[in-house]
Chains A and B, each alone.
Chain A
Amino acid sequence: MGLKELFNKLTHKTQPSKDQAPTHWIKCPSCGALSFYKEVLKENNTCPKCGYHFRMSAEDRIKLLADEGSFEEYDKNLEPVDPLHFVDKKSYQKRIQEGYKKTGRKSSAISGECKINGVLTQLVVFDFAFMGGSLSSVEGEKIVRAVNRALNKKTGLVIVSASGGARMQESTFSLMQMAKTSVALSSLAQAKLPYISVLTDPTMGGVSASFAFLGDFIIAEPGAMIGFAGARVIKQTIKEELPEGFQRAEFLLEHGLIDMIVKRDELKTTISDILLFTNTPSK
C-alpha cells in the first residue's frame, strides 16, 4: 500500500491553505525555485519556472475542469459509519473529524455533474488531503451512483484519482469497493459510454488496481506517482535500488500502461475533445 511512505515523502507538496496563500512563498521540489503562491495558483498549481505539478484540492480541480457555475454536486450527504469501530493510534472517528476540519468534507471524493467545454459529464474527483484520498464505502458508493447517472443520462464519466489506496480503517469493506466500482464500470462499458480516468499524484494500491486502470482512456499528469505497491515495500521485498523515475507517469507511458501524459493547462480541452470524439454521432 505504501501509504505511510507517500505521506512522509509527499506532504511537503500539498498546497498551502487558502488563508496563507496571498503572502505565502512556495518552494518547488523539482527545480528549487521560490515562487509567490499567487503565481503558482495562477498557473493551476504548477511551478511557474519548470512546470512542476503541485497537488491540488478537489475544489480547485473542479474549478479547473468544469465550466463556470456548471458543477452540481451529488451524494454530498453520504458519510462514513466506522463499521468496525476501528481504533489505531487514533480512532477512525477522530480521523474523519480531522479530515472534515481540513477539507470541509467527510469523504475523500466529490461527485457531481458538470459541463466540460459545454459537454455534459459525470465527474468524480479525489482529494489526497482527506485521509490520503483513500477509498472506503462512501467513495465506492459515490462512484456507483455516478455511473448510474451516466447510464441514465447517456453521458461520459471522468474520475480524477489522487489516492494512497483502500482505506484500512474499513478493512474488507474497503477492499470490496475495488470489486464494487469495477462491476459498476462494466455496466458503463456495456452501454458504450466513455470513461476517462485521470491519474494524478499519487494513484496507488486498491484505487490503482480497480477503477483507475479501467478507463477507456487513461491520462496521467506529468510526474505523478502511479503504481500498485509502494516503493518502500518493493525495496524491502527485492532488496534492490529502484530505477530512476520508477512509477512516475513517464515510466508508465514508456511501459505502455497509460494513453497519454497531459499537462494541467491542457487537461480540460483534452477531456472534452475525447468526450466529443467518443460520445457524439460519428460523421
Chain B
Amino acid sequence: MLYLDFEKKIEEIQKELEVAKIKNDEAAVALYQKELDSEIKKTYSNLTPYQKLQLARHQDRPHAIDYIDMIMTNKYEIHGDRHFADDKAIIAFMGYIDDQKTIVIAEEKGRGTKDKIYRNFGMPNPEGYRKALRIALLAEKFDIPVLFLIDTPGAFPGIGAEERGQSEAIAKNLFELANLKVPTVSIVIGEGGSGGALAIGVADKIAMMKYSVFSVISPEGCAAILWGDNTKIQTATKALKISAEDLKEEELIDDIIDEPLEGAHRNPQEAANNLKEYYLKTISQLKQLPKDELIQKRYEKYLNYGKYKEE
C-alpha cells in the first residue's frame, strides 16, 4: 500500500505496530494502536484541498471496474459505438445491483502501465462518448435505470479526437442525457475532469465519493494558464474548490457518499457498499416519479445552476 507524503507519520506508527505484533508485545500493540488511531483522525480531519486531490488520484483507489465487480451480479459487458470503435476508456455493463436491473456506464483509467495505456488513462475519444450515449438509449428502450461512474482526467486531447468531433460528441451527450426517459444517477468516484466528465454527468442525481474531485479544468492546467506557473498546483487546487465538500456546499452536487476515513483504497468493500446503498436508495425514490415529472425535475435542476446578480 502506498502512503502519501502527508501520511508519513501514520506509516511510521503502522510499522512500529507491526513490529510490536510480531514480538507479541501486547502492551506496545495497544499503545501503538491508540497512537495510530489518533494520528489518523488528526490527519484526516484536517485535509487540505491538495491532499484531497492526492487521495482522488491515489494509485490504489478503487476504479469503476472494481466497483462494478463489487456491486453487480449476473453481468455482461457490452461494447462499441456501432460507428467507429470500442473505446476502452468507457466501459458498460448490464446486470443486477441486488435485484435492481441496471446499466452501468463508466470511465475506467486502468491500473498498471500496460492497462493504463489500454484504457488511454481514462481519457475517452469521441467514440467513447458515443458508446455511452448508444448504451444509455438502449437502457431507455428497455426502461432500465442508468448508473454513471465518473473517473477521468478529461476528454482525450488528440488529433483523431478533434477530427472525429470531440466537441460534438460531448455536447450531444449533454443534450440527449437531459431527456433520457429512465432514472439516472451519476457518481464521481475519483477525478471528474471537465467536459470529459460532465459528458456522463447529466443525471437526476449527481453524487461524489467523499475524496473525489470535480473541476472545470485540471489544477495543473489552471496553474499553467492563470498563474503561468506549473508549480502553483496547490494554490490552484484550493482556488478552484473542487472537493466533494466544497461542491455540496455550493449546491453544485446533490450528495456526498461516505468513504472509509483514510480513503476508499483502504477498504474498497466498505466504499462499494456505501455507493451501492446510495444508488439503490436513490433509484427507488426516482422510480416513484412519473417520467415527465422526472425529466421536468432534471431540467429544473440544470437550469438553476449558476450565480449572478441582476441590478
Contacts and interface: CB of A to CB of B under 8 A. Distances in A.
Interface of A: 1, 3-4, 77-81, 83-84, 86-89, 136-138, 140-141, 144, 166, 168-180, 182-187, 189, 205-206, 208-214, 226-230, 233-234, 237-238, 240, 242-243, 246-247, 251, 255-257
Interface residues on B, range: 35 or more
B307 A140 contact: no
Contacts of B164: 255
Interface of B: 155-159, 161-168, 170-172, 174-176, 178-179, 194-195, 198-199, 201-202, 214-217, 221-222, 224-228, 236, 239-242, 247, 250, 252, 298-299, 302-303, 305-311
A78 B308 CA distance: 7
A172 B195 contact: no
A147 to B, nearest CB: 10
A171 B161 contact: no
B306 A183 contact: no
Contact of A144 (B215, B221, B222, B303): B303
Given A187-B299, A206-B216, A228-B161, A179 B239 contact: no
A4 B225 contact: yes
Nearest to B236: A88
A212 B171 contact: yes
A180 B202 CA distance: 10
A268 B170 CA distance: 29
A1 B159 CA distance: 15
A209 B308 contact: no
A171 B159 contact: no
A182 B177 CA distance: 10
A176 B305 contact: yes
A162 B245 CA distance: 34
A169 B222 CA distance: 10
B303 A175 contact: no
A172 B215 contact: yes
Contacts of A141: 306, 308
Given A81-B309, A172-B241, A179 B174 contact: yes
Given A173-B306, A227-B162, A237-B157, A3 B225 contact: yes
A247 to B, nearest CB: 6
Nearest to B253: A172
Contacts of A177: 305-306
B193 to A, nearest CB: 10
Contacts of A257: 165, 168
A265 to B, nearest CB: 27
B158 A186 contact: no
Contact of A210 (B174, B228, B241): B174
Nearest to A76: B311
